Chain A
């Protein structure tokens, strides 16, 4: 019996040792160190970083570029989930329920649409960023500006006009995300019993009521999950901005985001202390978002 317990303990230890060690060394310890480094003026060259307390944080509050980045993240936090979910819900509904022939089975060819829509999700963000850099070229060689100029319209500076660049970033993010949520919502719709839609239809519900009175309330849980995922995506965005936009977040910081400013401060300016302070701010924004969305999502589930 004692031997059995010894073997069990040994097994647990052996199986946990490697994963826990790796995780502590590469994930947990950097996170903890970051909070300390945030209170130093470390620039990487000095052997001993000097402790400066909250100096980095007081400097950060008057750092216009950082707050510009925060505003961009905040705008994305609202717009990215909103646009993506509205478009994805609309398509998921058409593909699964709102089909033209007799309703309910979804539109013909719905499987093919789903396969095509999902594909951008499989591509690396860095690849998508370079691809759209070419699509958005400012002259006649750009995929979009070419036809526009042929029509006699003035070319649009998708990435070179500070007033437009942010919307280009948002557009590309929506482009990549929609397919994933079409598939996610389709899976959600598949778990709703058919009778619900049939009963509603027999009672005379049109497409609109089918969507707003049946689909949306029953999918509400999935929509909330989608909202949290997209919110985190909006707060964490980096590669699309860093690779696609002019001057990594430009022109003139018009597309920059928190992650880009952290990376720039750490690895272009070598201000490790300050970059960590920005990281701590980002951490609190993310945790704040998580707490708010958890509180808001406490709602009664519909059982079916």
Chain B
């Protein structure tokens, strides 16, 4: 008796599912088509660039979709050496490493104090930082150029933080990364429980120690998201280095890539351009493939707050 009833229920469920499937059915094919079209739109330009990076100059100016007769790996050597992609990549790594470490250290310190220590003026400082989210950076561009130029005249430190210095750019990156970092981390610190820190204080730990040894480890998920956000943001930055770094050997990768294509047409090395593009895209592809979950979460975290 019981088995029979359950059998009927099962069949009617299956029946309902079939009805549902029929209703949605033929569109399934069309959905896949739409998704495939967009996949092609995303993947093909990138693969085409990779393909062109091993073509000879003549092949690049010939039919766009011809396959290379031989693989010209020397394009990569020329891009790395003569187009200085190696140097620019190194510069980017240096600037972004220090920029992100500095941003995370100073940003988390400010966010923690503003989130956890009520004092007169707390709200004002918080709003000062967060207001930076709304301003277009282009308004500050001209004065910023002169601020950094004047920094070059500061005694002792000047030569290291003026125009055309990596340390100068690092400081600017840190400052311009503050609004989002403080905004996001302050919100995160507010959600953490207070009891653990208080217990440690009772046991005699200093404020500084509580921050570095208890609160920072507890805030790890938030720290990871914002770090990813800042690394990508600073790595991809083009506007600020364009204004602040005018000497070629100081340039970061984005400037180098943009320059190969905008430089006046004399003696253009197009195959090296494609190799340079590939050298800029491939590492991102590898890093993205490994960390795609964290990267997607890190970049969208801000929008979901």
In the docked arrangement, what's the CA distance between A68 and B117, Å?
A: 49
Q: For residues 1 through 15 of chain A, which have their beta carbon under 8 Å from a beta carbon of chain B?
A: 7-9, 11-12, 14-15
Asked if A37 is an interface residue, CB under 8 A from chain B, the answer is yes
* Given A140-B64, A207-B24, A267:B139 Cβ within 8 A: no
- Chain-B contact segment, one of A58-66, A75-83, A212-220, A231-239: A231-239
Q: Select which of A18, A20, A140, A207 is within 8 A of B63 by beta carbon.
A: A140
Once the chains bind, are B27 and A100 in contact (CB under 8 Å)?
Answer: yes
Once the chains bind, are A175 and B41 in contact (CB under 8 Å)?
Answer: yes
Once the chains bind, are A103 and B24 in contact (CB under 8 Å)?
Answer: yes
In the docked arrangement, what's the CA distance between A20 and B136, Å?
A: 20
Q: Select which of B129, B138, B304 is within 8 A of A279 by beta carbon.
A: B138
* Given A90-B34, A122-B288, A147:B139 Cβ within 8 A: no
Asked if A142 is an interface residue, CB under 8 A from chain B, the answer is yes
Asked if A266 is an interface residue, CB under 8 A from chain B, the answer is yes
Asked if B167 is an interface residue, CB under 8 A from chain A, the answer is no
Asked if A152 is an interface residue, CB under 8 A from chain B, the answer is no
Report chain A residues within 8 Å CB of B208: 11, 14
Report chain A residues within 8 Å CB of B242: 263
The closest CB in chain B to the CB of A272 belongs to B142
Asked if A30 is an interface residue, CB under 8 A from chain B, the answer is yes
Q: Select which of A25, A119, A184 is within 8 A of B42 by beta carbon.
A: A119
Chain A nearest Cβ from B183, distance in angstroms = 13
Q: Select which of A30, A31, A118, A225 is within 8 A of B303 by beta carbon.
A: A225
Once the chains bind, are A259 and B31 in contact (CB under 8 Å)?
Answer: no
Contact with B along A69-101 (1 / 0, CB 8 A): 000000000000000000100110011001111
Q: Select which of B46, B176, B260, B284 is within 8 A of A27 by beta carbon.
A: B176
* Given A121-B299, A130-B261, A290:B38 Cβ within 8 A: no
* Given A27-B176, A30-B143, A141-B60, A91:B207 Cβ within 8 A: no
Once the chains bind, are B238 and A239 in contact (CB under 8 Å)?
Answer: yes
The closest CB in chain A to the CB of B208 belongs to A11
Chain B nearest Cβ from A23, distance in angstroms = 5
Q: Select which of A94, A102, A236, A263 is within 8 A of B136 by beta carbon.
A: A236
Give the size category of B's interface with A. Answer: 35 or more
Once the chains bind, are A37 and B143 in contact (CB under 8 Å)?
Answer: yes
In the docked arrangement, what's the CA distance between A202 and B48, Å?
A: 46
Asked if B281 is an interface residue, CB under 8 A from chain A, the answer is yes
Report chain A residues within 8 Å CB of B145: 266-267
* Given A90-B34, A100-B27, A286:B134 Cβ within 8 A: yes
Report chain B residues within 8 Å CB of A14: 208
Give the size category of A's interface with B. Answer: 35 or more
Once the chains bind, are A22 and B281 in contact (CB under 8 Å)?
Answer: no
Chain A nearest Cβ from B288, distance in angstroms = 5
Asked if B273 is an interface residue, CB under 8 A from chain A, the answer is yes
Once the chains bind, are A238 and B239 in contact (CB under 8 Å)?
Answer: yes
Q: Which of B139, B243, B288, B303 has the most CB of A within 10 A?
A: B139
Once the chains bind, are A116 and B42 in contact (CB under 8 Å)?
Answer: yes
In the docked arrangement, what's the CA distance between A129 and B261, Å?
A: 10
**Known contacts A15-B112, A262-B139; can you find 17 more A-B pairs with CB under 8 A?**
A22-B175, A25-B147, A26-B144, A87-B38, A100-B32, A116-B39, A126-B236, A126-B238, A130-B260, A180-B299, A207-B24, A222-B303, A222-B304, A229-B303, A238-B138, A263-B243, A286-B136
Q: Can you offer 15 A-B residue contacts whose CB atoms are under 8 A?
A: A16-B110, A22-B174, A23-B132, A31-B139, A31-B140, A34-B143, A99-B28, A117-B39, A121-B299, A126-B238, A127-B257, A143-B65, A146-B63, A206-B24, A239-B254
Q: Which residues of A contact B (CB under 8 A)?
A: 7-9, 11-12, 14-16, 18-20, 22-23, 25-31, 33-34, 37, 87, 90-91, 94-95, 98-103, 107, 113-127, 129-135, 137, 140-143, 145-147, 150, 175, 178-180, 183-184, 187-188, 201-202, 206-207, 222, 225-226, 229, 235-236, 238-239, 242-243, 258-259, 262-263, 266-267, 272, 275-276, 279-280, 282-283, 286-287, 290
Q: Which residues of B contact A (CB under 8 A)?
A: 16-17, 20-21, 23-25, 27-29, 31-32, 34-35, 38-39, 41-46, 48-49, 52, 60-65, 106-107, 109-110, 112-114, 117, 119, 125, 128-129, 132, 134-148, 171-172, 174-176, 178-179, 182, 206-208, 211, 232, 235-239, 242-243, 253-255, 257-258, 260-262, 273-274, 277, 280-281, 284-285, 288-289, 292, 295-296, 299-300, 303-304
